[in-house]
């Protein structure tokens, strides 16, 4: 019996020493396993956001960062609801060509903030077009149906990706005159929900 115990202690010591000789190898295997596990838990689900914004005054800000006219700097803030965000606020700061309607030019900062503070960073680019589409309200003066993209986030949106299309328009008859309807998909780590 003593021989069996000695053999077991020697075997156990050998196993411990072998694993300690190359801890980096063990760590790399763990990281690969974690990465594979995370990838296997990624989920892609539909995303829909409806929100309303106000164009904010630009007094006291660096308007020159967009360059000379016809480039102008635009701020839009407001909020709404979205799948996976719930109620949220949004903030857009970007440059637009006032003559062609193309945006952004060299600068855009855009994000949604959920009620718990988790943030989803987004990017949208395209062109504002005068007029309205048949399904828009009668008082719409311009619209933009452009691609948007998720650039990651914080909290449960860390590492998020995805995108889709906008169906947005501006109206003259409301204090909040920027109306946004985004549809697409969002991909996140399932455990973050």
Instruction: Note the pLDDT of residue 32.
Output: 55
Instruction: Note the pLDDT of residue 1.
Output: 52
pTM of the model: 0.76
Architecture of domain 43-192: Beta Barrel (2.40)
With a cut of 90, say whether residue 112 has pLDDT above it. yes
Q: Is 53 exposed, middle or buried (0-12, 13-18, 19+ CB in 10 A)?
A: buried
- 77 close to 56: Cβ distance less than 8 angstroms: yes
Q: Which residue ranges make up each domain of the chain? A: 2-39, 43-192
- 108 close to 84: Cβ distance less than 8 angstroms: no
Structure token pair of residue 42: 């990624």
- 192 close to 158: Cβ distance less than 8 angstroms: yes
pLDDT tens digits for 141-172? 999 999 999 999 999 999 999 999 999 999 98
Helix and strand element counts for the chain (H, E): 2, 13
């Amino acid at each position: 019996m003593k021989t069996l115990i000695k053999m077991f202690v020697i075997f156990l010591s050998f196993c411990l020493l072998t694993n300690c000789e190359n801890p980096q190898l063990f760590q790399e295997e763990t990281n690969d396993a974690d990465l594979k596990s995370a990838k296997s838990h990624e989920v892609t689900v539909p995303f829909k956001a409806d929100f309303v914004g106000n164009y904010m005054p630009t007094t006291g800000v660096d308007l020159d960062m967009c360059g000379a006219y016809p480039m102008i700097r635009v701020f839009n803030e407001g909020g709404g609801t979205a799948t996976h965000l719930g109620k949220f606020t949004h903030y857009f700061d970007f440059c637009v060509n006032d003559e062609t309607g193309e945006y952004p030019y060299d600068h855009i900062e855009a994000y949604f903030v959920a009620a718990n503070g988790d943030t989803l960073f987004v990017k949208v680019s395209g062109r504002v077009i005068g007029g309205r589409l048949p399904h828009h309200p009668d008082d719409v003066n311009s619209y933009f149906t452009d691609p948007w993209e998720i650039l990651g986030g914080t909290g449960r949106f860390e590492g998020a990706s995805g995108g889709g299309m906008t169906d947005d328009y501006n109206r003259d008859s409301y204090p909040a005159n920027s109306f946004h309807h985004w549809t697409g998909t969002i991909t996140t780590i399932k455990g973050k929900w």
